[in-house]
Structure 1
Amino acid sequence: MIKQIICINWGTKYGAPYINRLYAMVARNITPPFTFTCFTDNRDGIRSEVLCEDLPDIDYEVPETRRGIWPKSRLWGPKLGSLSGTVLFLDLDLVVTGSLDALFTYGNPDDVILARNAAKPFERLGQTSVFRFPVGKLVPLQKEFAANPFLVAEKYGYEQRFVTREAPGGIKFFPRKWIRHFRFQCLLPFPLNLFLPARLPTNARIVIFPGEVLPEDAVSGGWSGRQGATLSQHLKAFGDYGFRQNRPFQFLRHFMRPVNWVADHWRE
């Protein structure tokens, strides 16, 4: 069986550096044969081992919302470039830390299997940072979404909630220990985060980075784009704004020590 990995890239947020790193991490952690396909609107700088295909065509407008990555709905059509059969989707900003082989043999080939959403522990919610599906299985979702994209986005908020609740035949989850959420399951709670770096949980094969924190933030430390990259910047924010906003510890809770294991894995 050829293991088929896919990813999607549009716009300027990620691009070739992320695609190339993801390919390299996959190649180090998978038993051949495998393919790695990127559906993209820009092929510049992408390494030759990556099979590039155009973004799948759609005949509806993708809503611009604060929540949900609805352009992923392009992957739900009856065709997916030249691919058929089972594919494993990976977000561009995750870190592969262990073997991916079992993600292809877990469950049945016809299953739709998602990572668990650690941000919503009391909701049976999947995470589409990592999910496996047969090409064409999610066509009913795309049709429903295409009929009124703004209404669906408003009702479900996140595309992963739409997939979780409406996938034909329901969804399954990958084992909890295989896929971990960096901020909720790796980063230590305050005040330990001030002194110790985030840990890599035992048996983790993939660490996902939903939200504002990216792998490069973990490598450098701090929280770039929030309070700054150094502890002194966080302490200053704590003094300047924390008590004024009645949330005195929010700035210190966001601080990260540099994480060496992310640097070790997140590379070409």
Structure 2
Amino acid sequence: MKWGAKYGPEYVNRLYGMVRRHLTGDFNFVCLTDDGHGIRPEVRCLPIPPLNLHLKPGQRDGAWKKLTTFEADLHGLRGTALFLDLDVVVVGSLDGFFTQPGEFLIIHDYPRFWRFGERIVGNSSVYRFELGAHADVLAHFRGHMAEVQREYRNEQEFLSRFLHRQGRLAYWPAAWCPSFKYHCIPAWPTNWWKPPFVPPDARIVIFHGEVNPPDALAGRRNKRFAHIEPALWVGEAWKA
């Protein structure tokens, strides 16, 4: 999914290249977007279904648009869909993401020491579902938009808890989708001389928060007093 100006077509093109190198057999690669200019011809560009968010002045729509992937009829698409955020880096085989048992699979969101209680929320950088099978998620959001946005911080929290109540939520094996900032950066102070690494059994590295793939490759962090060495493996993996 690509909208606005934050990510250019090169992100889509590189994502396609990584998927092609790491997924066996034929597949359809779809980008829901408001601008298909510059996207490689192997990618099928389709419009993002309207969500008609009720936003206050200055309020960002965040990732709520992701919920439109659950349309009952998403441009006539059928079959099993694996959703990938544009800024992930694929480093291993993707075949298992299509064979892992479960009705709806998502990353188990990364634990933080200040969280208490049962950890249910998933990180929606990578999720798998049957197209059209969870239209009730989107229907509920559209029918209770203001209430949902008051109760949940973002779309992944709403999505996870909605499907958890239905008994449909399952998680990828923890090693498959490590976080770059939590799992790939060496512990302080070795981060000042040791470069970020790919954890064992990683398949898709997730970039969330202050570091994106170009930052990791260049050895940049947007966090004061934080430091990383260049992650050269990003350049080897993140290419069209």
Q: TM-score, length-normalised on structure 2?
A: 0.90
Is 1:259 matched with 2:227? Answer: no
CA contact (8 A) 1:113 1:173 kept: yes
Distance in structure 1 (CA, Å) of the matches to 2:60 and 2:153? 9
Residue matched to 1:182: 180
The gaps in structure 2 that reach 5 residues or longer are none
CA contact (8 A) 2:91 2:203 kept: yes
Decide which moves more: 186-195 or 127-136: 186-195
Distance in structure 2 (CA, Å) of the matches to 1:264 and 1:153? 39
Residue matched to 1:25: 18
- What are the Cα deviations for residues 86-135 of structure 1, in whole angstroms up to 9, with x where unaligned? 10000000000000001000014xx0100121154752221100000111
Write out aligned runs for 1:30-45 (5 A).
Answer: 30-45=23-38
Change (3 A) 1:208 1:139: same
Is 1:118 matched with 2:116? Answer: no
What value does the CA root-mean-square deviation take over the aligned residues? Answer: 1.8
- What are the Cα deviations for residues 201-241 of structure 1, in whole angstroms up to 9, with x where unaligned? 01100001112210000000122xx36xxxxxxxxxxxxxx
SS of residue paired to 1:200: coil
Change (3 A) 1:169 1:137: farther
| Shift in Å, 1:138 | 2.3
| Shift in Å, 1:199 | 1.2
Residue matched to 2:79: 85
Is 1:53 matched with 2:46? Answer: yes
Distance in structure 2 (CA, Å) of the matches to 1:139 and 1:169? 16
Distance in structure 1 (CA, Å) of the matches to 2:235 and 2:61? 28
Is 1:69 matched with 2:63? Answer: yes
- What are the Cα deviations for residues 16-36 of structure 1, in whole angstroms up to 9, with x where unaligned? 110000000000101011111
Distance in structure 1 (CA, Å) of the matches to 2:173 and 2:179? 13
Number of residue equivalences: 232
Q: Which amino acid in 2 is paired with 1:45?
A: G
CA contact (8 A) 1:68 1:157 kept: no
**Identity of paired residues, percent?**
38
1:206 paired residue among 204, 207, 215: 204
CA contact (8 A) 1:179 1:206 kept: yes
Q: Which amino acid in 1 is paired with 2:104?
A: V
1:15 paired residue among 8, 19, 23: 8
CA contact (8 A) 1:16 1:43 kept: yes
Change (3 A) 1:67 1:213: farther
| Shift in Å, 1:198 | 1.1
Distance in structure 1 (CA, Å) of the matches to 2:122 and 2:54? 21
Distance in structure 2 (CA, Å) of the matches to 1:47 and 1:159? 29
Distance in structure 2 (CA, Å) of the matches to 1:200 and 1:48? 31
Change (3 A) 1:124 1:67: farther
* Higher-RCO chain (CA-CA 8 Å, sequence separation at least 6): 2
Distance in structure 1 (CA, Å) of the matches to 2:62 and 2:104? 19
Distance in structure 1 (CA, Å) of the matches to 2:62 and 2:108? 16
Write out aligned runs for 1:219-238 (5 A).
Answer: 219-223=217-221, 226=222
The gaps in structure 1 that reach 5 residues or longer are 1-7, 228-250
Change (3 A) 1:66 1:40: closer
